[in-house]
Structure 1
Amino acid sequence: MGPLNRDVWEGLSAQKKEERLRDLLRNFPTGMKYEGLETFERFGQRIETGVFSYEEQTFVFVPGDRVTLGWDRWQVGMNEETSADLLETVSEYGVEDVDSFLSSQMSPVREVHIAPMLVECRNHPLGWFEVTEAEAMAQESSYFTEELEKFKLSDLNQYELHQEFRLVRQGEAIQIFWFNEDLTLEYLIEEEAKAGFGLLTEEEWEYLYGGGSRTLFPWGDSFDYTMKLKHFGSLEEVEGIVDESVEQNPSLLVENDRPYDLELPNFFGVQFAGDPYNYELTLDASGNMMPKGGDGGAMICGGMGPLVGFLPAAAVYYRDGNAGELEWEDMIDYMNYRRVIRLAGLSV
C-alpha cells in the first residue's frame, strides 16, 4: 500500500494497525514486547499508535512524514499578552527587533522526510548511571559515606556533589547515581548500535516535539501562562507582572501536586524534560552532538522570566547557539538521551 507515513497510518483500521505492529517485532531487539494500541492527543494533534516495552522502558511507534521544520516567521502571531511580555523582557537586554531575535534562536527552515521509527518515551540521564549503595561504597569516594548519612537524616529530596555522585529521595528509598566520567559520544553510539538502537537526529527530535508544527510553540504562537513550569511553579494570571520571574514576584508561585505541563506525554506519546537547564542529545547531519530542549539555564539565570527563560524548552525549533563552545565533559552533566529504531523502507 505504501510506506509507514502518517497519512497512510491514520487511514488504517485498528485491526490492520495491530497486525502491522505485531509484524514489526521482527525488526526489534529480542525481548521487545508489543503491549497494544493507545491514543495520544495534545495541542490539536492526535494519533492512535502502538506501545511497546523493553527492559522496563516504554516505546511508541511514530509514523514518518514529509514536513517543514525550522522557524523564521510567524504563522498566526503572538497575542497581546505574549507580545508585551516578550518585548519588555528582551528590550532590557538591548534587543529592539523581536522577530530577528527569535529567528536567530531557531533552526533554519528546511523540508525533510522523517522515516517511521520506534521511539523511547522517556529520556535518560547521559552522564549518570544508577548504582547500589554497596557499589557506591566501592567507588572509594572520600565524601560519599558521610554525605549519604547526612542525606538520610535530612529533609532534602536531592543532593549532588558536582560530577561525582547524586542522591535522590524516592519515598522511603534513596536512589544513588554515579557520574560517568569516562563516557564518550563515540562509545555511546557504538554500544547502542550493538544493542539495535540509534540516537535521534536534530530533525527527528523537532518532528517528535512539534509534529511538523509551523508555530513557535507546539500549541501555537502565544505563550500559555496557565502552565505549571519547573523552577517557576504554577503561574497565576496576574495582570501586569506576568513577565517577571518568581524570584522577583513570589506571589506568582503557587504550589500544587499537578505535574509540570511540559513533562506530560505529547500527541505521539513522547515525554520531554521540559527543563531549560537540561539538554537532550541529538546528532547533526555529520554525526556531531547537537543538544536540544535547553540552554543550560542561561536565560533563566539571566533573569528573563518564564516566557523567554523557557524558550529553549518550549519553542519547537530552538537551537542553542552557544552549545558549540562547550566541551563534551561539561555537557554530559546536564544531558539526556533516548533510543530510537528507524524503520525506513518498511511499507504497510
Structure 2
Amino acid sequence: MTYADLTFEQWNKRSDDAARRIAAEIAGRLDLTVVGLRSTVYAGRSHRVALFDRAGMRFALVPGGRPTLGYDAGRFQPAAGQADSFADSADEYGLPSLAEYVDAMTSPARAVELPARLVAVEAFDPGEVPLAPGDPLAGLAVMGLRTTTPDEWEWACGAGAATLFRWGDRSPDDGYPCDHRTGPHREANLWGLAIGQDPYRHEVTTERTIVCGGDGGSATCGGSGFFLGWLTLATAYRDEQFGQWLASDAGYADGALTRPVIELG
C-alpha cells in the first residue's frame, strides 16, 4: 500500500509507533519536517493528527477513502431559530422553500474516490507566492504544490461529516459568523485545519468558478439574515453566481485565498 492509499480508518488503527514511522517516511520522501502527532476530538469524533512543516508552511495529513460529499437538503431539520431567520429572509428576498434554497446553494450528494494527501493548515493569499507574480497559482506548481479541487476542499473541510456544517446542523440565531469570535467554526477541524471559519475568507479551487469556505462576506455585509450568513460556511456551500462573477473580467482577485496540497502518490 502506498501512502496515497491510506484511509481514515487505516491511519487511526495504526499504533503510535507505526504512525510515527509513517509520518517520518512521508517527511523524508517530501523533504518536510514532522511537527508532531496528536490526538484530537472535534464534534464528537476523534482522529490522530499528523502535522508537517515546509519552509514555514504547515501541512496536515488528510487521509483518503471513498467519502460521500455534497448535501441532501431533504434530510435537514432546521431548529426553530434557523427556520424563523430563513422565513424572514425569504419574505424579504422572495426565496423558495428552505429545503429548495439549501439544495440550490450546496453541491449535490455524490460518492468520490480520494487519495490521502497533505493539505495546508492555513489558506493564504496566492499573491504572496513570490515565484510567479503574473500568475500566482502557477507559482504553486514551481514549488511542487497545487491548490485544492472542489472535492478535495469539501473532504478537507467536513472530514466526512454528513451534517450541513462540519460541526453539525445547528447555527447561532443571534448573529453572523463574524459576530462570534468563539465557537466550533473558529476551532481547527477534525484533520487539524483552520478552514471554513470566516465567510469573508473564501478560497479558490482548481475550478475557476467554484469558490469554497465563504461568499466574500456578501450575505453578512448585505444583512441577508443570520441563517443565510451561516449557510456560507456549510461544507458543501456553492454560490454559483458569485463564483461565475469572481472568475469573470468584472471579478476581483483580492481577498480570495488558496489552500495548497502536496500529493503523496
Match of 2:229 among 306, 309, 328: 309
Match of 2:134 among 167, 178, 183: 183
The answer as to whether partners of 1:75 and 1:221 remain within 8 angstroms in 2 is: no
State how far apart, in whole Å, the 2-side matches of 1:196 and 1:77 are.
43
Deviation at 1:260, TM superposition (A): 6.4
Taking the TM superposition and a 5 Å limit, the aligned residue runs for 1:32-47 are: 32-47=32-47
Deviation at 1:27, TM superposition (A): 3.1
Match of 1:266 among 169, 174, 189: 189
Taking the TM superposition and a 5 Å limit, the aligned residue runs for 1:19-98 are: 19-28=21-30, 30=31, 32-75=32-75, 77-98=77-98
Aligned length: 261
Moved more, 11-20 or 67-76: 67-76
The alignment status of 1:331 with 2:225, answered yes or no, reads no
Taking the TM superposition and a 5 Å limit, the aligned residue runs for 1:68-217 are: 68-75=68-75, 77-127=77-127, 183-184=134-135, 188-189=137-138, 191-217=139-165
Aligned to 1:8: 10
The alignment status of 1:320 with 2:239, answered yes or no, reads yes
Deviation at 1:72, TM superposition (A): 2.6
The TM-score normalised by the length of structure 2 is 0.88
Relative distance call for 1:199 and 1:71 in structure 2 (3 A) is: same
Structure 1, residues 269-308: CA drift from partner, whole Å, max 9, x if none?
Answer: 0002522223111113xxx452111222222233123321
The alignment status of 1:296 with 2:219, answered yes or no, reads no
Unaligned runs of 5+ in 1: 131-180, 235-257
The answer as to whether partners of 2:245 and 2:251 remain within 8 angstroms in 1 is: no
State how far apart, in whole Å, the 1-side matches of 2:88 and 2:176 are.
22
Alignment partner of 1:332: what SS? Answer: coil
State how far apart, in whole Å, the 1-side matches of 2:100 and 2:176 are.
28
State how far apart, in whole Å, the 2-side matches of 1:329 and 1:128 are.
22
Alignment partner of 1:9: what SS? Answer: helix
State how far apart, in whole Å, the 2-side matches of 1:78 and 1:21 are.
41
Unaligned runs of 5+ in 2: none
Alignment partner of 1:66: what SS? Answer: coil
State how far apart, in whole Å, the 2-side matches of 1:225 and 1:342 are.
40
The letter for the 2-side match of 1:116 is: A
State how far apart, in whole Å, the 2-side matches of 1:289 and 1:26 are.
36
Residue identity (%): 27
Deviation at 1:4, TM superposition (A): 0.6
The letter for the 2-side match of 1:80 is: A
Relative distance call for 1:118 and 1:300 in structure 2 (3 A) is: same
Structure 1, residues 99-158: CA drift from partner, whole Å, max 9, x if none?
Answer: 11111111122110111011110111234579xxxxxxxxxxxxxxxxxxxxxxxxxxxx
Deviation at 1:15, TM superposition (A): 0.7
Deviation at 1:228, TM superposition (A): 8.0
Deviation at 1:198, TM superposition (A): 1.8
Aligned-residue RMSD, C-alpha? 2.6
The TM-score normalised by the length of structure 1 is 0.68
The answer as to whether partners of 1:75 and 1:214 remain within 8 angstroms in 2 is: no
Alignment partner of 2:251: what SS? Answer: helix
The answer as to whether partners of 2:137 and 2:146 remain within 8 angstroms in 1 is: no
Moved more, 202-211 or 81-90: 81-90
State how far apart, in whole Å, the 1-side matches of 2:196 and 2:106 are.
19
Relative distance call for 1:329 and 1:122 in structure 2 (3 A) is: farther
The answer as to whether partners of 1:199 and 1:337 remain within 8 angstroms in 2 is: yes
The answer as to whether partners of 1:228 and 1:259 remain within 8 angstroms in 2 is: no
